[in-house]
């Protein structure tokens, strides 16, 4: 059984929520790639993640929506190295990073308005451009 993933001191993914499967990795590697199962397929039950608020859980689901399997579990694969243990650690670190990113609430947008001077400059520029176009017209052309 895998160890739990500790994201922060309050948030962790229990070992029971993790499912690890291995497979043969794709890409270069010669004979090694044909006979050694180094690719790691880590599945995480998002409902079992401990210490996460409902708002953060919703942000996490939105963040990983494209990585969910049919059962709603997060799927993270690791096949960067030729070592199964390192690929597993890489996948676990990516899961922790995703959860950490969901814990940070997004900053509220503060609506701003253009200043009076900026509005004046924009309209003056539009008037200059209109004047240039007006002067380029043929004489007697309709307005």
Per-residue pLDDT in tens (0 to 9) along the chain, 143 residues: 578 888 888 888 888 989 899 888 887 767 777 788 888 999 999 888 888 899 999 999 999 999 999 998 999 999 888 888 999 999 999 999 999 999 999 999 999 999 999 999 999 999 999 999 999 998 887 66
pLDDT for position 142: 64
Q: How, if at all, do strands 12-13 and 18-23 pair?
A: unpaired
pLDDT for position 121: 98
pLDDT for position 27: 73
Q: In Å, how far are 5, 11, 18, 52, 76 from 56, measured between CA atoms?
A: 17, 11, 19, 6, 19
pLDDT for position 117: 97
Query: 5-103 has which CATH code?
Result: 3.30.160.20
Q: pTM for this structure?
A: 0.73
Domain residue extents for the chain: 5-103
Q: How far apart are CA 117 and CA 126, in angstroms?
A: 14
């Amino acid at each position: 059984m895998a160890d739990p993933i500790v994201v922060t001191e309050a948030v962790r993914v229990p070992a029971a929520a993790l499912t690890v499967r291995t497979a043969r990795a794709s890409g270069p590697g010669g004979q090694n790639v044909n006979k050694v199962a180094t690719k790691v397929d880590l599945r995480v039950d998002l409902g079992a993640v401990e210490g996460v608020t409902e708002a953060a859980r919703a942000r996490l689901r939105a963040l990983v929506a494209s990585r969910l399997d049919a059962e709603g579990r997060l799927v993270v694969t690791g096949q960067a190295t030729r070592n199964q243990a390192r690929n597993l650690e890489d996948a676990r670190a990516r899961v922790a990073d995703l959860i950490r990113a969901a814990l940070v609430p997004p900053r509220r947008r503060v609506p701003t308005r253009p200043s009076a001077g900026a509005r004046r400059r924009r309209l003056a520029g539009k008037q200059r451009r209109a004047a240039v176009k007006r002067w380029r017209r043929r004489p007697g052309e309709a307005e």
